[in-house]
Chains A and B, each alone.
Chain A
Amino acid sequence: MSSTTTAEQSGSRNAPSASKPSWNPLKCSGTDLPKNLAIMVKTLAIAALVVNHVRILPDPWLPFIPFLDRFPPVLFQKTLQTLFLVSALAIVFNRRLRLFSLIIGSTMLVAVVSSKAYYGNNKTFCGLMFLLAGLYKPGTPNFFRWQLAITYFGAGLNKLLDPDWQSGLFFENWAVNRLHQPLYMALNSRLPSLVLARFMCWTTIVTELAIVPCLLVRQLNTVAVFSNVVFQASLCLFEGTTFTLFFYSMTACSLALVKWPDQPSPVFYDPSRPLSHVARRFFAWWDLDETFHWIPLESTPRGRSPVYLFAGKTVYSGFRALQMIFLLNPVTYFVLAAIIASLQSMPADVGAFLRRMIVGSSLVLLAPPLAWIVDRLFGPGTLSSHPLPGPVRERLSA
């Protein structure tokens, strides 16, 4: 997800919609959460349901909080599972998102502290995402940003102070002995011992620690969002797994850091170009929340962009506009989460291959660098070098 130049925290500016929520799981307008948070919790709920996370919710076993193992094990486990399942389904079908986010988040965190066998960073983080969404109140600080900053700080600091990370030994063992990563091993064989491992370790440490100030300084949030998504996608590409719920939770958290347009976004298109009509029909077909309002341009000089998208106060053109239409449609996230999660039932190597393909191609197709290249090679170029058509300019200055 790309944040616009006006990226904002999910505060009062991303106010919940007043319309009634739909039962359609692919829609998410009209809920009691701002749209970006609604997309986040729905994406996580979809992933958790598709991977059947409910089956591994535990009974109390070596709990972190001692009294928890005094509960009858079966009753405890069934209660957690029921609450989890009901809440996840309620979220998917747009029922009381805030309440059910609070319940499912609390359920996951209780599960984490009730069993050392279940305990895991991924479940803790996912539970916290739900819980923070459930506690959301307009005007309060963006706690998602704080949570992500603490997570990266803890992860980066632990690695920084670990001798095996400083020397590269961790990565060497992980990539060679555990993963048998062919690309890494091929490159590693051409380099002096531990050079590549040390490079990977220090790149990870620097990335994790550098994201922290980017999260805490609002002007750098766009960098934080982009870095977070690219870093998590890189981990998924390297290992081929989602680290249970970690990949979904960490990437979905980025949604809480961006400003979502609270009004339908106008898309001006050139009706004289067949491609514009194809794009309009295609995107309108799955724009279930009516996020985009397509408006034909009356006259467009040759060489200009066939499409202009207004998202808040930012205007996008060319291929970048098409990317943003993808990124601003919640269905994109639901479908991606569902597809990636569904691969869990496949044989490990097939699942890892397909997961890498989906994550890799999504990253390439939806990230700004490709738009930058395409728009310079084939498209209209930058907005500054190619003035906007009259009606679009008027709209921008209105």
Chain B
Amino acid sequence: MRVIIPLLLFAFQLGAIVYARFVPTRYFCWAPYDTQTEYWANATVNGHALTAPEFRQRYRRPRHGFDNRSPQHVIDMLQQVEQKRAALGEKASVVMQYRVNGKAPHIWRWPASTPKDETEK
């Protein structure tokens, strides 16, 4: 076990490094501080626009903030919260504007009724 467990962990990490080449996320592949994502998000739940504290409580992130990894990590968090809450009957909409490494901003929306990820003109 003292050898097998480390070897399995290493195999998993190498697999994650390869997997990261095909997806936008960067989980468990050792990409710390490789991307700077700045975002601004607003959410409305059952017709109520969330205040800053309400937003933080729901998504465990501030409405405006930074993430030192792929923007998909922020999107994952917002999207997965809403997917779970939708099962409880909540109707929410989220709009997030974000920019990666200071480049032109993008917009992500939930639910994705409009094009899922668009560059702001």
Contact = CB atoms under 8 A, between A and B. Distances in A.
A62 interface: yes
Contact of A157 (B17, B36, B60, B80): B17
B81 interface: yes
Contact of A121 (B3, B10, B30, B84): B30
B2 A151 contact: no
A165 interface: yes
Interface in B1-25: 1-3, 5-6, 9-10, 13-14, 16-17, 20-21
A111 to B, nearest CB: 14
A173 B36 contact: yes
B31 A143 contact: no
A158 B77 contact: no
A62 to B, nearest CB: 5
Contacts of B21: 161
B73 A116 contact: yes
A170 interface: yes
A242 interface: no
Interface string A115-154: 0110111101000100110011100110100110011111
Contacts of A153: 17, 30
A174 B36 contact: yes
Nearest to B34: A158
A155 interface: yes
Contact of A154 (B17, B35, B81): B17
B2 A121 contact: no
A147 B77 contact: no
A178 B67 CA distance: 11
Interface in B91-110: 100-103
Contacts of B5: 131, 135
A141 B7 CA distance: 11
A177 interface: yes
Contacts of B29: 154, 158
A61 interface: yes
A38 B66 CA distance: 36
Contact of B102 (A137, A146, A150, A172): A172
B9 A128 contact: yes
A164 interface: yes
B77 to A, nearest CB: 6
Interface residues of B, number: 37
Contact of A173 (B3, B10, B14, B102): B102
A63 to B, nearest CB: 10
Interface string B62-104: 0000100000010011001100100000000000000011110
Contact of A169 (B6, B77, B103): B103
A170 B1 CA distance: 41
A298 to B, nearest CB: 49
Contacts of B36: 170, 173-174, 178
Interface string A163-203: 01100011011100110000000000000000000000000
Contacts of B28: 124
B30 A116 contact: no
A243 interface: yes
B34 A116 contact: no
B80 A154 contact: no
Contacts of B16: 154
The residue in B3, B17, B29, B30 that gathers the most chain A C-beta atoms within 10 A of its C-beta is B30
Contacts of A117: 60-61, 77
A159 interface: yes
Given A155-B34, A178-B36, A116 B80 contact: yes
Q: Give the 7 A-B CB pairs with smallest separation, nearest first.
A: A154-B30, A173-B102, A121-B32, A158-B31, A117-B60, A143-B6, A135-B2
Interface of B: 1-3, 5-6, 9-10, 13-14, 16-17, 20-21, 26-36, 60-61, 66, 73, 76-77, 80-81, 84, 100-103
Given A120-B32, A165-B34, 15 more contacts: A62-B81, A62-B84, A131-B9, A150-B10, A152-B30, A154-B13, A154-B31, A155-B32, A158-B20, A158-B34, A162-B35, A164-B101, A170-B36, A173-B36, A178-B36
Interface of A: 61-62, 64, 116-117, 119-122, 124, 128, 131-132, 135-137, 140-141, 143, 146-147, 150-155, 157-159, 161-162, 164-165, 169-170, 172-174, 177-178, 243, 246
